[in-house]
Amino acid sequence: MSTQTLPTQAKSAREIISYDPATGEEIGRAPLSSLEDVRQAVSRGRKAQPAWSNFSFRQRARVILKARELMLAQRDEIAKLVSRETGKPVTEALSMEIVPTLDAMHYFAHAAENLLRPQKIDIGQYGMMGRSSSIRFKPLGVIGIISPWNFPLATPADEVVMALMAGNAVVLKPSELTPFIALKIGEIFSRAGLPEGLLEVLTGDGSTGAALIEARVDKIMFTGSVATGKRVAEAAARYLIPVVLELGGKDPMIVLEDADIENAARGAVWGAFANSGQACASVERCYVHESIAPKFIERVVAETETLRQGVGTETAVDIGSMTNERQLQIVEHHVSDAERRGARILTGGHRGENPEGFFYPPTVLTNVDHDMTIMRDETFGPVLPVMTFSTDDEAVKLANDSVYGLTASVWTKNIARGRRIAERIEAGTVMVNEVVYTHGIAQTPWGGVKDSGYGRTHGRMGLLELVTPQHIHVNRLSFLPDLWWFRYSPSAAKLFGGLATHFTTGSIIRTSRLLPQIVKRLFGLRK
């Protein structure tokens, strides 16, 4: 039964259908926006953006905070919609999507002005020559956001907020699997009084995402798979459109012999199975010190077996269904490949009985190694493969043996040791005694290294992706020519040699030795 009507902006005859992955029920139909739709949206954004960028931070914040108020008031309805489009439990939609989004709205509404305040730059000895430099941060124009289905509220909404606070217009292209949550974001901002054209939500598939690049937005914030990220970067390069790529992960968790075993086991279970393991930062590989492995694995299995799987909109459910069948098949392939190569399935391991929903039980594997797909490719499902190690060096080597580098974690009671190991791991974020959740901290940068992408979102670094720094340089001594201007002469060459020796040391005392030559040249040039 369809519970959503066709949105009013639907002009296209083509449409996408959103289904509840836990029940197979149709949620509704949304337009498959064409290149022309995208061009018009970008053009509306271009018209609206200059006035918005002239708004003060306080005026922009007022709209964001009104949207926050509306989202908070509708939180239960929104959490249910998130649950219906993704299969995740309503409770998790609240904790992992709505709470961090409201927090990010509050943070950026209040902090953006300070984070983007113009800055003076210390230009050393040039400052003694009557010059000064400052940086101001200008909005880029129209930002294209392309987002995936796994956190369909938090991922795009946070970026919408940051882009708007920085003075940009936004065109958002959500995943074809979760169009209605994105339309809800658009509706909330519109009801909050955001002027028309500043947030356009264009539902559609990959062709709509590709059209955003053809429509020449000023920057693409892409979150999704490595394969699509590469296609996006390649297409954007044709027009030199800058791109932030938030891609996949194969995130390792290292449990040292001095870790709190109980808590590390609980952390591993939540980190691997929250959102049915469909988080870019999910724990996808666990390395435990051999001396504590039996106890740790026993705790992990026991904890896993207490989890209740079911339709996410029902109460008392820990794990919902996966969001789509293609992803479920990838999980089945990874587990069967591992099993064929000798892995032991300690719990789970086979698709559930429920034929309607895409349910896969939380699965724990041991006897795994790095020849197996499950330890190399992103599984993006509720599977936790566990391997043992005997030394810190070996653990670091195993963690770094991946093409990915999004997040990682180290578990130990010795914080200094945890930090030392964290610094050796190739990942954008490394947590000590924590997993997954730092995407939820609005203040800290989020992003990866290696195939996990480049650029950052969140925090000051994320905000800086949405502006262009403009350097303003002023020479107050407007009556004086510069030493290095024409004309050149043997005495000029001698002075430049002196500058190379003294000025470049940064020492005013050393440079002052050149003062007579400098004065002579300056007055010579004025003649």
The footprint of ligand NAD (CB under 6 A) covers: 146-151, 155, 173, 175-176, 205-206, 209-210, 223-225, 228, 231-232, 246-249, 280, 378, 380, 406, 448
Contact status, residue 374 vs residue 338, Cβ threshold 8 Å: yes
In the chain, the amino acid numbered 499 is L
Q: Angle 6-12-17 (CA atoms, 0-180°, nearest 5)? A: 50
State in angstroms the smallest separation of the CB of 380 from ligand NAD. 6
- Please give the C-alpha separations between residue 382 and each of 197, 261, 274, 320, 322, in angstroms, as whole numbers: 40, 21, 8, 10, 9
Give the residue with the Cβ less far from ligand NAD, 180 or 389.
180
Token code pair at residue 105 = 């709205």
State in angstroms the smallest separation of the CB of 484 from ligand NAD. 46
Active-site option among 97, 176, 280, 303: 280
Give the residue with the Cβ less far from ligand NAD, 327 or 412.
327
Contact status, residue 144 vs residue 171, Cβ threshold 8 Å: yes
Give the residue with the Cβ less far from ligand NAD, 206 or 242.
206
State in angstroms the smallest separation of the CB of 56 from ligand NAD. 31
Can you tell me the distance from the alpha carbon of 325 to that of 358, in angstroms, rounded to the nearest whole number? 6
State in angstroms the smallest separation of the CB of 407 from ligand NAD. 9
Q: What b/e string do you get for 205-230 counting C-beta neighbours within 10 Å, with b at 16 or more?
A: beebbbbbbebebbbbbbbbebebbe
State in angstroms the smallest separation of the CB of 346 from ligand NAD. 25
Please name the residues in contact with 394: beta carbons below 8 A apart, sequence gap of 6 or more: none
- Please give the C-alpha separations between residue 451 and each of 72, 214, 404, 427, in angstroms, as whole numbers: 36, 25, 5, 10
Q: Angle 221-73-106 (CA atoms, 0-180°, nearest 5)? A: 45
Q: Do strands 344-347 and 363-366 pair parallel, antiparallel, or not at all (unpaired)?
A: antiparallel
Bridge partner list, 134: 120, 472
**286 is known as an active-site residue:** no
Q: What is the DSSP letter of 3?
A: -
Token code pair at residue 439 = 């995407």
Give the residue with the Cβ less far from ligand NAD, 167 or 405.
405
Give the residue with the Cβ less far from ligand NAD, 162 or 232.
232
Give the residue with the Cβ less far from ligand NAD, 109 or 154.
154
State in angstroms the smallest separation of the CB of 172 from ligand NAD. 10
Active-site option among 246, 303, 378, 465: 246
Give the residue with the Cβ less far from ligand NAD, 228 or 366.
228
State in angstroms the smallest separation of the CB of 504 from ligand NAD. 42
Give the residue with the Cβ less far from ligand NAD, 28 or 418.
28
State in angstroms the smallest separation of the CB of 27 from ligand NAD. 17
Please, what's the largest Cα pairwise distance for the chain? 93
Can you tell me the distance from the alpha carbon of 224 to that of 408, in angstroms, rounded to the nearest whole number? 19
Q: What b/e string do you get for 384-395 counting C-beta neighbours within 10 Å, with b at 16 or more?
A: bbbbbbeebeeb
Q: What b/e string do you get for 247-278 counting C-beta neighbours within 10 Å, with b at 16 or more?
A: bbbbbbbbbbbebebeebbebbbbbbbbbbbb
Give the residue with the Cβ less far from ligand NAD, 89 or 148.
148
DSSP H or E segment with residue 57: helix 57-73
Helices 57-73 & 99-115 angle (0-180, nearest 10): 170
Give the residue with the Cβ less far from ligand NAD, 21 or 418.
21
**280 is known as an active-site residue:** yes
**Rounded to 5 degrees, what are φ and ψ at 28?**
170, 180
Q: Angle 401-405-406 (CA atoms, 0-180°, nearest 5)? A: 145
State in angstroms the smallest separation of the CB of 302 from ligand NAD. 29
State in angstroms the smallest separation of the CB of 411 from ligand NAD. 22
Can you tell me the distance from the alpha carbon of 131 to that of 164, in angstroms, rounded to the nearest whole number? 34
The CB-nearest residue to ligand NAD is: 209
Can you tell me the distance from the alpha carbon of 265 to that of 273, in angstroms, rounded to the nearest whole number? 12
- Residue carrying the six token digits 């449409």: 15
Catalytic residues: 246, 280
